[in-house]
Amino acid sequence: RRILEQGHAVGNHTDHHVNGWKCPTTQYLQEVATCDQRLPETRLFRPPYGRISRKQISNLGHRTIVMWDVLTHDYNNALSPSRCLAGTLKAVRPGSIVVFHDSLKAARNMETVLPAFITEVSTGVTYSGRSKCSAGPMAQSKSVLICVMDWGLGHATRSLLLIRELI
């Protein structure tokens, strides 16, 4: 409830983070239905791993499928928070959808990088290669969507999609 009150949108991400390319359609749709029971009503859906079949898409009908163009790699423990932030800022463009992961595996990077990223994008400052500039592509941006995938910090049965639009 608090997430919605703070202006975020919530979407379905299946109940157990299943890969649509490796899951029969009937089982996949059951995963979506089970997750629906745990969430407030939503039309938003992001397929885990970005993998979903045409048949699964057609059976989801009324949903808006949310994909992304910037994957932060925050789950990669070999990547330092500063390199994670730099790479994310280098990849982001006006209208980007950026994915962060709220999981134990990603916690170190996500908890450091997400607030810094929001600050950078909100002020219109981004990276161009390795040097900061104040007139980067985000300075003229109308919005960036940030998706935080909540895997329940080890409880995969609570997958959801949290979206925040920055203007």
For the stretch 58-108, pLDDT in tens is 999 889 998 888 999 999 999 999 999 999 999 988 778 888 887 888 889
Phi, psi of 145, rounded to the nearest 5 degrees = -100, 135
In one letter, which amino acid is 126? T
The answer to whether the CB of 95 falls within 8 A of the CB of 141 is: yes
Quick one: pLDDT at residue 27?
97
Instruction: Tell me the whole-structure pTM to 2 decimals.
Output: 0.72
The answer to whether the CB of 127 falls within 8 A of the CB of 116 is: no
Give CA–CA dist 60/87, Å, rounded: 33
pLDDT tens-digit series, residues 62-75: 899 988 889 999 99
Quick one: pLDDT at residue 88?
92
Give CA–CA dist 116/104, Å, rounded: 19
Categorize the per-residue pLDDT at 124 as very low, low, confident or very high, splitting at 50, 70 and 90: low
The answer to whether the CB of 152 falls within 8 A of the CB of 14 is: no
The answer to whether the CB of 14 falls within 8 A of the CB of 32 is: yes
Residue 57 pLDDT > 70? yes
